[in-house]
A = this chain, B = another copy of it.
């Protein structure tokens, strides 16, 4: 069985394991105050076009999302996201558990738009009873989105403009950042994200690390006492250098970007195989997650050799399934999958 069900089913890039082995007997200061975290932060900073930021390293994606939101919002303030956002549908109410409402808007290709944000923000601004409603204060989006689609630079600029106009934070969950940046048709870079957002993450768990998310905090209001929020939310890893070491290794010689490009290219081979076979794609995209519509018999045929994930059923009974490539996918694995699709 070959796993295409997600992008976190294997260990880490070999260079990371080598670094772990090499440093295993070294001793370090705790809680992220060590030379590896400094080095990783510097390596990431070097990609951000010179903006002034703080960089923290956290273990997981849910954790970083609710910790950032806990630090950003007062109790009467809410998050704006697409109805398909990870925080809305797959984090067990972690945001609400930290006290904050999520105001959702209907996703358009897995994304939200500046216009949707404006409508909510304007409704609050012009409300005659603002104390009865929450104030939209932070826009959450995933890059790429939960459906693999990506925001264009123009879309991000429009979101930034509306956030500026209404005083909202713009926060980007980059759990799959490598795959967003690596898409052939993406015009967004880390420099853009640093310029346009108040905070964003650079995912390690799904992009070559054993675990870990780098959090880039630009807005000073989010940077104050952030380590207190981390500790309070269980997000201050005792051996923080393990995170620094991984990100330093990923950002060495452009490795992170290369891993993303390669996985996206493999995904495009899968996409081409589906198109050649006439299999419909659900929310077509250019990143590492491909959502394919299959009949029950097609699904069963593929399930003999491949593990993939069900993502719901269409009204006509066909299923949407997700195939993920990753930094760890091999050409042989893709060959096998493409052959199997051709043989359906």
- Contact check, B10 vs A24: say whether CB atoms are below 8 A apart: yes
Give me the interface of A with B, judged by CB distance under 8 Å.
Answer: 3, 6, 8-12, 14, 17, 20-21, 23-31, 59-64, 66-67, 70-71, 74-76, 78, 89-94, 96-102, 128-135, 205-206, 210-211, 225, 227-239, 242, 310, 328
Contact in complex: A76, B225 (CB < 8 Å): yes
Contact B60 A93 (CB under 8 A): no
* Contact A92–B228 (Cβ < 8 Å): yes
Residues of B within 8 A of A10 (CB): 24-28
Residues of B within 8 A of A92 (CB): 76, 131-134, 228, 231-232
The 3 closest A-B pairs by CB, nearest first: A63-B234, A11-B24, A131-B227
Q: Evaluate contact between B238 and A8: CB separation under 8 angstroms.
A: yes
Contact present for A100 and B90 (CB under 8 Å): no
* A66, closest chain B residue (CB): B234
Closest to A16 in B: B24
Q: Which residues of B contact A129 (CB under 8 A)?
A: 90
How distant is the Cα of A31 from the Cα of B20 in the complex, in angstroms? 23
Q: 12 new A-B pairs (CB below 8 Å) besides A89-B133, A94-B231?
A: A10-B25, A17-B20, A91-B231, A94-B232, A94-B234, A96-B99, A96-B101, A97-B99, A99-B99, A211-B238, A211-B239, A233-B234
Mostly, the A contact residues are loop
Q: Once the chains are docked, how many angstroms separate the CA of A344 from the CA of B309?
A: 61
Q: Which of B59, B62, B97 contacts A75 (CB 8 A)?
A: B97
Asked whether A27 lies within 8 Å of B12 as measured between CB atoms, the reply is no
Contact A20 B11 (CB under 8 A): yes
Is B62 a contact of A131 with CB atoms below 8 Å? no
Whether A242 contacts B210 in the complex (CB less than 8 A), given A232-B75, A232-B94, A234-B235, comes out as yes
Give the distance in Å from the alpha carbon of A129 to the alpha carbon of B90 in the complex.
9
CB closest chain-B residue, reference A225:
B76
Query: When the two chains form their complex, are residues A27 and B14 in contact, meaning their CB atoms are under 8 A apart?
Result: no
Are the CB atoms of A62 and B24 closer together than 8 Å? no
A21, A128, A228: residue with the most chain B Cβ atoms closer than 10 Å: A228
Q: In the complex, A102→B95 CA distance in Å?
A: 12
- Which of B94, B101, B238 lies in contact with A205, CB distance below 8 A? B238
In the complex, which residue of chain B has the Cβ closest to the Cβ of A74?
B225
Once A97-B75, A99-B97 are accepted as A-B contacts, the answer to whether A91 and B132 lie under 8 Å apart by CB is yes
